[in-house]
A and B are shown apart, each in its own frame.
Chain A
């Protein structure tokens, strides 16, 4: 089945540690996105990529980094510079072009140890 796979489902970070969240899609979508969701709130955009080897900062990129070496994969690293990393992280993808809906994975919940 085509879809977006995020792993792990739960992740714990120690002080000063970088952690990487995985996002893989087999929908052949060009564009991929990372969002952060805090309790009782909507989604906020961290980074997005419209094509391989290119990505742009979203609204809350500080303390995060990404790479896009393959079309299928868009990993997100939460660095030690992100002082409030506890959140639900959602990856999405969409077709290239105007007015295409984004489709989401089932998220990774990150907590601080």
Chain B
């Protein structure tokens, strides 16, 4: 039969506030992580990446934090804007992973209220 889509976790923030999107990854051997933004009807857009030898990396208005002890990744967006409304995915790559295969999380839907 037809599969039923899962309800995405949703984060709703006020315009101008900071947003924090969280991701728990599965493999302690993963050594590379990426955050993607996906708008409706479009492909995922690369935001920022981080290697496992780092705890923090900053981009333009975004910061990624990596806590390897608890296998947790977060994306912080400063001064959130309506254009930030989208689904955000984290992806991980294992250290023994051939071919650069990525494993994607379910995604979090960010909704920005004006």
B83 within 8 A of A: no
Cβ-defined contact, A38 with B99, below 8 A: no
Given that A48-B99, A84-B3, A102-B102 are known contacts, is A42 also in contact with B46, CB under 8 Å in the complex? Answer: no
Instruction: Tell me the B21-37 residues at the A interface (CB within 8 Å).
Output: 31-32, 34, 36
Cβ-defined contact, A103 with B8, below 8 A: no
Cβ-defined contact, B104 with A43, below 8 A: yes
Per-residue CB proximity of A62-98 to B under 8 Å, as 1/0?
0000000000000000000000100000101010001
Q: What residues of B have a CB within 8 angstroms of the CB of A50 in the complex?
A: 99-100
A87 CA / B71 CA spacing, docked (Å): 30
CB distance from A78 to the nearest CB of B (A): 17
Chain A residue with Cβ nearest B47: A101
Q: What residues of A have a CB within 8 angstroms of the CB of B107 in the complex?
A: 40-42
CB distance from B3 to the nearest CB of A (A): 6
Cβ-defined contact, B100 with A102, below 8 A: yes
CB distance from B100 to the nearest CB of A (A): 6
Q: What residues of B have a CB within 8 angstroms of the CB of A102 in the complex?
A: 34, 46, 100, 102
10 contacts between A and B (CB under 8 A): A31-B99, A42-B89, A43-B44, A92-B43, A99-B31, A99-B93, A100-B100, A101-B46, A102-B34, A103-B46
A-B residue pairs, 8 tightest by C-beta: A39-B5, A104-B43, A40-B5, A42-B104, A99-B32, A40-B6, A43-B104, A106-B43
Q: A40-B6, A45-B102, A99-B51 are in contact. List 12 more A-B contacts (CB 8 A).
A: A41-B107, A42-B104, A43-B44, A43-B102, A44-B104, A48-B100, A48-B101, A56-B98, A56-B99, A99-B93, A99-B100, A105-B43
